[in-house]
Amino acid sequence: MAAVSDRLPAFPWDKLEPYKATAAAHADGIVDLSVGTPVDPVPQLIQRALIEAADSPGYPTVWGTVALRDAITGWVRGRLGASAAGHRNVLPVVGSKELVAWLPTQLGLGAGTGTLKDKVAYPRLAYPTYEVGARLCGAEAVVYDDPTELDPAGVKLLWLNSPSNPTGKVIPKEDLIRIVAWAREHGILLFSDECYLELGWEAEPVSVLHDDVCGGSYEGIVAVHSLSKRSNLAGYRAAFVAGDADVLGELLEIRKHGGMMTPAPVQAATVAALGDDAHVEEQRVRYAARRAALRTALEAHGFRVEHSEASLYLWVTRDEPCWDTVAHLAGLGILVAPGDFYGEAGARFVRVAFTATDERVEAAVKRLG
């Protein structure tokens, strides 16, 4: 069996440990802006739903309860503008990272046939798990700036990510229409990672499932959504996919065999979360204030902000190698993510998360001043 190091890239976050130690040595403690993990409380109505469903001794179903499928389809129709979505167009998953990492394997991708390898395409600046998913199944990972400029030969899976992690860039509706048409023309399955869709600041993110984008047909397209960011549920591993019923049907059968079941209490919590918009708006207000404070402080400190029109991150540069920037900020007790974690094109940028508490964000602002 091949060693893990031969099959997968090195886990990038291990490289941050020395800088984390430097930041932690600050007299007032570390301000960790390196990871986009929620820090605010899980809304009470979601906690109550989880507790009330705690007595769940039996196995849950992979497809989920009727209440969960109703909640997802209702949200997809209302929030994404996907008016034709029904129960066969949705499927709960055990967190979106699991889905991203194992999707190529579950789709049966691999080395391909003859001299033409199966290819998984994803943005040049991207969440590392897209590459990991390709490598786990033996497919070839390819990057793009504009997917419609790819050679379609061998491309079996095309990943979009809007809003982007790490850059916060949003793909405009007209570009989504063009990309969906191109993927369908070439018979390429398109998965759109839309986990930050609720967090648009200077642009309004649009789903590939929107009627205007896909023409009311989900053929060949699937959207990925998570409750980790919108509802502070990263610890619950609550997510789902929506789109092409045939693709989701195949995934359902595979995931049944693999026992990939969302726990019953989490299913109940997801129903509560998708049925309430108030807590989402409350969290947006918190993030908006933290974002504004950090952006102002970073720009005053000599940083330039690029893209960053959505998501939970600011994509910033001082026009120097990213690790020099990481070291500089670590000296101030602030830990950020180096841009090269997300591809070589990020080598002069850092990603700054605004998911720290108000107190820690205030501390970072003071240090940058």
pLDDT tens for 110-164 read 976 667 889 999 999 999 999 999 999 999 999 999 999 999 999 999 999 999 9
* Residues whose CB is less than 8 angstroms from the CB of residue 135 and which lie 6 or more positions away in sequence, other chains included: 7, 8, 9, 141
Please answer whether residues 182 and 148 qualify as being in contact, where contact means their C-beta atoms are separated by less than 8 angstroms.
yes
- Residue 315 in tokens: 């994509």
Transcribe 133-202 into DSSP letters.
HHHHHTPEEEEESSGGGS--TTEEEEEEESS-TTT-----HHHHHHHHHHHHHTT-EEEEE-TTTT-BSS
Q: What is the mean pLDDT of the chain?
A: 95
pLDDT(4) > 60: no
Q: If pLDDT is split at 50, 70 and 90, which confidence band does 9 have?
A: low
Which of 5-19, 197-211, 267-281, 318-332 has the lowest average pLDDT? 5-19
| Eight-class DSSP state of 352 | E
- Tokens 């909640």, residue? 71
Mean pLDDT of 13-34: 94
pLDDT(3) > 70: no
Euclidean distance between CA atoms 121 and 185, whole angstroms: 16
Q: Which tens digit of pLDDT belongs to each residue from 331-355? A: 999 999 999 999 999 999 999 999 9
| Eight-class DSSP state of 225 | E
* The predicted structure's pLDDT at residue 136: 94
| Residue type (1 letter), 280 | V
Q: Which tens digit of pLDDT belongs to each residue from 74-121? A: 999 999 999 999 999 999 999 999 999 999 999 999 976 667 889 999
- Looking at the DSSP bridge assignments, the partners of residue 158 are 121, 190
* The predicted structure's pLDDT at residue 134: 95
b/e per residue 315-351 (b: at least 16 CB within 10 A) = bbbbeeebbebbeebbebbbbbbbbbbbbebbebbbb
Q: If pLDDT is split at 50, 70 and 90, which confidence band does 62 have?
A: very high
Closest CA to 218 of 236, 201, 241, 234: 241
User: For the chain, where are the E strands, in sequence order?
Assistant: 31-32, 90-93, 119-123, 140-144, 155-161, 189-193, 221-226, 239-243, 304-306, 313-317, 334-335, 337-338, 350-353
* Residues whose CB is less than 8 angstroms from the CB of residue 334 and which lie 6 or more positions away in sequence, other chains included: 23, 30, 31, 33, 364, 367, 368
* Residues whose CB is less than 8 angstroms from the CB of residue 46 and which lie 6 or more positions away in sequence, other chains included: 231, 233, 269, 272, 273, 279
Q: If pLDDT is split at 50, 70 and 90, which confidence band does 2 have?
A: low
Q: If pLDDT is split at 50, 70 and 90, which confidence band does 11 have?
A: low
pLDDT(206) > 90: yes
Mean pLDDT of 253-282: 97
* The predicted structure's pLDDT at residue 10: 65
- Residue 317 in tokens: 């540069």
3-state secondary structure of 307: coil
- Tokens 């409350």, residue? 282
* The predicted structure's pLDDT at residue 175: 98
Q: What are the structural domains of the chain?
A: 4-41+279-368 (3.90.1150.10), 56-274 (3.40.640.10)
Q: Which tens digit of pLDDT belongs to each residue from 215-258? A: 999 999 999 999 999 999 999 999 999 999 999 999 999 999 99
pLDDT(5) > 70: no
pLDDT(359) > 90: yes
Write down the number of H helices and E strands in the chain. 13, 13
pLDDT(298) > 80: yes
3-state secondary structure of 123: strand
Euclidean distance between CA atoms 177 and 215, whole angstroms: 9
Share of the chain above pLDDT 70, in %: 96
* The predicted structure's pLDDT at residue 14: 82
